[in-house]
Amino acid sequence: MPTRLPRTMLIDMNSFFASVEQQANPLWRGRPLGVGNSLHETSCLIGTSKEAKKLGIGTGTSIYKAKRIYPNIIVTRSDPDKYREVNDQMNRIFRDYSPSVEPYSIDESFLEIPDDKGLLIAAEIKRRIKSEIGEWLTCSIGIGENKFLAKLAGAMQKPDGLTVIWRDQLPEIYKHKQLSDLWGIARGWQKRLAKLNITSPLQLLDYPVQNLISLFGKPGFDIWQRVNGLEIDSIESSPLTGEDVTLVTDEGGFLGYPSPGASRHPLPQGERDNLKETSQKSFGNSWVLNFRTTDKEKLKSVILRLAEKASRRMRREGLMASGIYLSVSLTDACPQRLSTGHVCNQACDGGRGSYFHKSRKIKGFIETGFELYEQSLKVWDAWKFPSEVMHIAVGFTYLSPKVKQLSLFVDRNATLTPVLDSINNKYGEFAIRSGLLTKTSDFAPDAIAFTHVT
């Protein structure tokens, strides 16, 4: 075993949302607790405490099911501002030990560390989190040759663990893992690899790299390098604050003006053909409603609020879109659900309920929430729902880098949008907003994302 440690560290806060709530309320400590963006029975918990997880109540469990498992579970509404503040405190501590800190999500960060001080740094960070942020907060730390292995190491000992993975340990470690345990190898990749009879990490580790390159190109080579502990993903150090860390869902909207045709950003066909597709496939937002209704007019403002959130994220990445999607889930499938509050699952004879989904390409490009809203209504108005709406999702697809255009005409919307974005960046989500959004904060309130911070 090498004498020097790998240089990549992942710090993963344990049961983050629930632990922050327990830290803030000592009476909740040691008790099963769940955190939800909505307290409706059909809503899913976005985080659960260590005590709840021991009972089988994990992230994604519906509130209804959680109460069936443990009737006395404490369920509280999420408090994004509180989580952002803790995230800020975490990353300030991390930057005392490394100039290269990448906030990966609201509860995870990567650090580049000296190869002779990793264990000391890990122990010191654990101590400081408890002493400076809260005694009820714990973290699992993984150290590996690259971000991929640091992530794997961080998941191996929870809660409050510390695991180091050296490259020469990989065959033994992979013996006890599934492909689904590996970061970045989702169902799509698992299906591709299965066609090559690669069904385990150990088989992938030993597979000839040239075969992967010939079949999958650079993505195949990248996966092989990550699995073999080669460093190909640099730590993207950033001075982000908690506000920025949650920009995936939480950097809020702007005042949406009806946009003239010019704001569709039409480009000559040659320029459109030359646009490079971004690795991000879509930007969207969804919400499980904390009420049930068949009133389509009432729900239009929810669509607009979700569209505004998605548009802010997309613009932060310098992207525009030439496609949209809209999805709606209803409550009609299971009579038990409608009469008793029963929550369906796949084993229920009633099924999951009607599901409406439509994605479509549009002419030209759009980048604002109001434009997405307008395009979505073309789909929305054509749908007829047989029962109450319980979930709405809306977003942008067919993304491309934004191209600055030369025009003889002033695009009022394009001029206003950056100004309104800067106001909302400074004063908070929806500090300035459309009148249509005035009473929608309860429909789709501020929420925390789980995905990559970019």
Residues involved in catalysis:
108
User: Helix 147-154 vs helix 218-227: angle between axes, to the nearest 10 degrees?
Assistant: 50
Is the C-alpha dihedral spanning 65, 67, 73, 75 positive or negative?
A: positive
| Site of tokens 């033994």 | 172
Furthest-apart CA atoms within the chain: distance in Å: 67
CA contacts within 13 A on the Cβ side of 331: 24
Contact 282, 396 (CB under 8 A): yes
Cα distance between residue 407 and residue 302, in whole Å: 34
Cα distance between residue 110 and residue 54, in whole Å: 27
Within a 10 A sphere around the Cβ of 308, how many other Cβ atoms?
Answer: 29
Q: Left, alpha or beta for 15 (phi > 0: left; psi -120 to 50: alpha)?
A: left
Cis ω before 201 (30° cut-off from 0): no
DSSP-based three-state secondary structure for 254: coil
In terms of C-beta density within 10 A (0-12 exposed, 13-18 middle, 19 or more buried), how is residue 395 classed?
buried
Is the C-alpha dihedral spanning 304, 309, 310, 311 positive or negative?
A: positive
Q: Which residues contact 98 (CB under 8 A, 6 or more apart)?
A: 111, 112, 113, 121
Contact 97, 121 (CB under 8 A): yes
58-61 contacts, C-beta under 8 A, 24 or more apart = 61/34
